[in-house]
Amino acid sequence: MKNVLVLGGTGFVGAHVCEKLIRAGLRVTVPTRRAVNARKILHLPALTVLECDVHDEAALTQAMDGVDAVVNLVAILHGSPAAFEWVHRALPEKIARACVAQGVRQLVHVSALGTDHQKPQACVSNYLRSKGEGEAALMRGLGWPQDKAADALAAVPHTGLTVLRPSVIFGAQDQFLNVFAKLQKWFPVMPLAGADAKFQPVWVEDVAAAVVQSVLRGLSGPPRWEVYELVGPQVYRLRELVQLAARLSGVAGGRGRPVIGLPRWMGKVQAAMLGLMPGKPLMSGDNLDSMQVDNVATAQFRGLTDLGVTPTALAAIAPQYLVADRSQTGLLGLRRRIR
């Protein structure tokens, strides 16, 4: 049985990845900062949870002992430029060194659509810039040059690298359509910055299937360096997604709230105010910066179908979880909504 280490395996995408890896007959280990964060995946057979600081390079290298493949899903959406650097660039540097030290065969790194490993400085936000720097750090660290085809190399690196760049990801536990639905239950209007930004939402199960395919291909074929863009079949503007979330979850009898597009400067003020609220911010100035470029496939890279995954339409899946929320009325629905 092959061993896979899944960094960030406790998260939204990670839980689906772990389940699919195990179904594919692989043994999975998930390092986490706090064991309690792994409660969603503890029931899975052939899964080990390891409380460990992945930023501690010695601990990370130790965790890769005997590991055939590594999946990296660790990321943050909000934070200071230093925090983005730490999680999105410095950690991949350590991951690459640890993979080389332990002779790991395949590394699958989940990045983000809109980034650029060749010109990270040209990216429009700290999030995307640091993601691009992370991709470049992995290539450098594993020995994959950016400017040469693999077959032109004198020595092919031992560790294959697959970079997956998803658009925004939807699924029953997403922090995206669920949040839009919830906000419209609370507020009578939806002031929205970046209302016309385009997205190509991709289903979490399709992303997880792409990760598993990338692991299996890397373990069975020669080492390669590849980038894939993971997108769904349809492009939406942000305002359409907000309206869809309201319609499906039955806000205001399915009509939703009026969406008022905000200019960028007003969006920045709104994001700054949201940042003062307790808990994880819903939106940050950096998120708004990311929306300056459309989050849709560039067609410069391969996609889901090249990994044998047929992209699933949002319209086929979102009703299942947003409508289910609406159907729970009374005490059960109230408990669910305030959780």
Ligand X SMILES: NC(=O)c1ccc[n+]([C@@H]2O[C@H](COP(=O)([O-])OP(=O)(O)OC[C@H]3O[C@@H](n4cnc5c(N)ncnc54)[C@H](OP(=O)(O)O)[C@@H]3O)[C@@H](O)[C@H]2O)c1
Binding stretches for ligand X (CB under 6 A): 8, 10-14, 32-33, 37, 54, 73-76, 87, 110, 112, 166, 168-169, 176
Cα 229 to Cα 58: distance, rounded to the nearest angstrom: 32
Enter the tokens of residue 46.
């052939």
* Smallest distance, ligand X to C-beta of residue 54, A: 5
Please give the residue whose beta carbon sits closest to ligand X in the complex: 11
Nearer to ligand X by C-beta: 245 or 250? 245
Cα 232 to Cα 200: distance, rounded to the nearest angstrom: 5
* Smallest distance, ligand X to C-beta of residue 174, A: 7
Q: Is 75 exposed, middle or buried (0-12, 13-18, 19+ CB in 10 A)?
A: buried
* Smallest distance, ligand X to C-beta of residue 90, A: 10
Nearer to ligand X by C-beta: 90 or 190? 90
Cα 330 to Cα 220: distance, rounded to the nearest angstrom: 52
User: What per-residue string of b and e applies to 303-325 under the rule 16 or more CB within 10 Å gives b?
Assistant: bbeebebebbebeebbeebbeeb
Which one, of 288, 301, 297, lies nearest residue 124 by Cα?
288
* Smallest distance, ligand X to C-beta of residue 87, A: 5
Nearer to ligand X by C-beta: 84 or 250? 84
Complete edge-to-edge strand list for the sheet that includes strand 69-72: 47-51, 27-32, 3-7, 69-72, 106-110, 160-166, 225-230, 302-303
Nearer to ligand X by C-beta: 10 or 102? 10
* Smallest distance, ligand X to C-beta of residue 258, A: 26
* Smallest distance, ligand X to C-beta of residue 207, A: 7
* Smallest distance, ligand X to C-beta of residue 32, A: 3
* Smallest distance, ligand X to C-beta of residue 40, A: 9
Nearer to ligand X by C-beta: 252 or 313? 313
Which one, of 78, 69, 7, lies nearest residue 37 by Cα?
7
Nearer to ligand X by C-beta: 39 or 335? 39
Nearer to ligand X by C-beta: 168 or 245? 168
| CA–CA–CA angle 138, 111, 137 (5° rounding) | 20
Q: Is 33 exposed, middle or buried (0-12, 13-18, 19+ CB in 10 A)?
A: middle
Q: Hey, which bits of 101-183 come out as E strands?
A: 106-110, 160-166, 169-170
Cα 166 to Cα 309: distance, rounded to the nearest angstrom: 13
Nearer to ligand X by C-beta: 74 or 95? 74
Enter the tokens of residue 252.
């205001």
